[in-house]
Structure 1
Amino acid sequence: MFKSQRQWSDLPSELVSDIADRLGIIELLSFRTICKAWNSASSTASAKIESTRDFEPWFLLYGMNGDDDHKDPDYQCQLLVAKSGQKYTVDLPELDGTTCLASNQGWLLLFQQGGSMFFFHPFSCMKIDLPKFPVSELSDHVAAFSSPPTSQDCTVCVVSRRSGDELELNVLHRGASEWIQHNRDELITLCTKDLSWRRHIVVSCKSKELKSPDQFFCRRDYFQSKDIRKKLGLAADASISICGTQMQPGGVGTFVFNETITGNRVQDSKSRKFKGVWIHPRLYLTSPKHESW
């Protein structure tokens, strides 16, 4: 006598959510692939993890460029849970030959020489191409985007130095086919809602001046304070160019700044260069792997 078997997708939604809430991000990556309902529950669970006051971003090491004995492909990356020290090896060919300009809510803004720019979400491998950037090479630059690129109000800003104190700001709104260029020579911010310029306060994380939730405070030397070099097992001669991120633990805006870590010179040793980025382990509902802007 055969008993009918029910599908995993038939589990009550309350039970699925309860299971998801007990899992970590890595477990949720497998959990979310079962069906649409489990995918939705995993996204909700990951958002709860990120919203906790003690949430810390993970670190993604990529762009390996070592000596001739280094056999790992350029797209093989190391993903580190900074808080626990857990480390995972992941293959992300989309990062090969790229430089990360900005990181926000699990999404990376990546640039390739020649002006190619796109969004990439490592936890779902979703890619969103952007219109060709007006500059083929970037140096001495910073970038940010206001919200996930799947949001209709997403705005991308890339700032680079033209000469002296003159800055060039390129802005792109969701759905636009061309970048809008602005030139400034003072330290101010641009409101992406109405494209108005205004000053903004940035204070130290130890400062007592933080009075408004609209202010952002700084966290400097994040890489070194978390002893990430040791957790990744990197030698003293390794140099790392790091892209920061922004987050809001407990509703308070926080910047993790870009950093450049210079390796110590070791006699008879070839310097190894890496790239890294702080990233939110955030999951989203799956959609086509390659979405248009």
Structure 2
Amino acid sequence: LQFLEAQSRVKCLQFSDQGKTTLLNVLTQRNLTDLEVDGVVRINGQQLSGSDMHHICAYVQQDDLFVSSMTVKEHLTFYAELRMGRNYSSNEKRKRVDDIIRDLGLCDCANSYVGQIGRLRGISGGERKRLAFACEILTSPPLLFCDEPTSGVDSFLAQQVVQVLKRLAHRKGMTIVVTVHQPSSQVFAMFDRIHLMAQGRVAFNGRPSEAIEMWNSWLTQMRILIWRSFLTTIRDPVLLRVRLFQTIVGYYMDCSKVVLNTIL
């Protein structure tokens, strides 16, 4: 599976069914204990090991992992101590935290508690998404994976989330891979490139404008309808028998009409 390009900005993986998180786990070489995986993952044509992937990429998971009793700045400082290690001085870590807070528009809530729903009032849903991005880009990874960052938010916040990712990609020169499910037309058009997958197969890979042109073609729509009808039929044995019976009966009825018309 090859769909990444260096500096390709924001790339969208859109799926019609389950498997988004599993694919990201395979690409990032994480949580593969119970999985049997075939094939290789290549970046710029080079095969990388799991440790190599951990060094060059970051992964924003769908579920946020925050310390609710910390403020936004305290939480980022805590992450900086864990992620940046001893290679950076305390001043460099503080500067990095301040820069990320400014870049992601978290200045107004820097001293607000992260909070937890039902227990402690905290920052908004959009701010939580931006904080999740901030925690993962502390080490300036060239490659960022995001698992459904627009889930659980309304259409307006979804556009804001994607806009934040676009700013990160353009300013930092990062390649960002995002999985989404049923995005709005506005969000769909914001991605630089999209990779549509359905039932484990690649349906399209290119720019959003190219996808719209292709799917608007009547021939493509007819092909999709026929394929969907075929899949529905073979998955239901009873429906398959009924349709075969209808086809056979219809065929004999047509033959009977032709014979009667010929005789008369």
Structure number having the greater helix percentage: 2
Is the radius of gyration larger for structure 1 or structure 2? Answer: 2
State the structure with bigger RCO (CA 8 A, min sep 6), 1 or 2.
2
TM-score (norm 1): 0.22
TM-score (norm 2): 0.23
Structure number having the greater strand percentage: 1
